[in-house]
Amino acid sequence: NIFQTSVFILFISIGKVHGASAPILLKNAPEAVYSNPLPHVLILTAIVVGVATTAVGLALVVRIREAYGTIEEQRIHQSEQEEETL
């Protein structure tokens, strides 16, 4: 997640234009310099995907713990081998 956050900051900094404003268009407004909104939208989407992926991973860990009583891989393999020998 630290690497992912650093990429987010990089893209947001690339999309920022010094002296520019948010891309809000008003009627009869003089021409202005706007920041590019695309990097911000892409980063917001990446954050949502990252949170959803983390939630699915944690849900899988909870289900494994409920099924096997542990999340340690060696203990799970040991319990499966013990079941096979029975």
The DSSP code sequence of 29-78 is: PPP--B--SHHHHHHHHHHHHHHHHHHHHHHHHHHHHHHHS---HHHHHH
Amino acid (one-letter) located at 67: A
pLDDT number for residue 39:
82
Q: Per-residue pLDDT tens for 8-24? A: 888 888 877 788 877 78
Parent domain of 16: 2-23+31-85
The token pair at 81 is: 């081998």
Handedness of CA 5, 8, 14, 17 (dihedral sign): negative
Please give the tally of structural domains in the chain: 1
* pLDDT score of 77: 92
- pTM over 0.75, yes/no: no
Q: Hey, what's the torsion of the CAs at 35, 37, 43, 46, to 10 degrees? A: -170
Q: Give the residues of the chain that fall short of pLDDT 50.
A: none
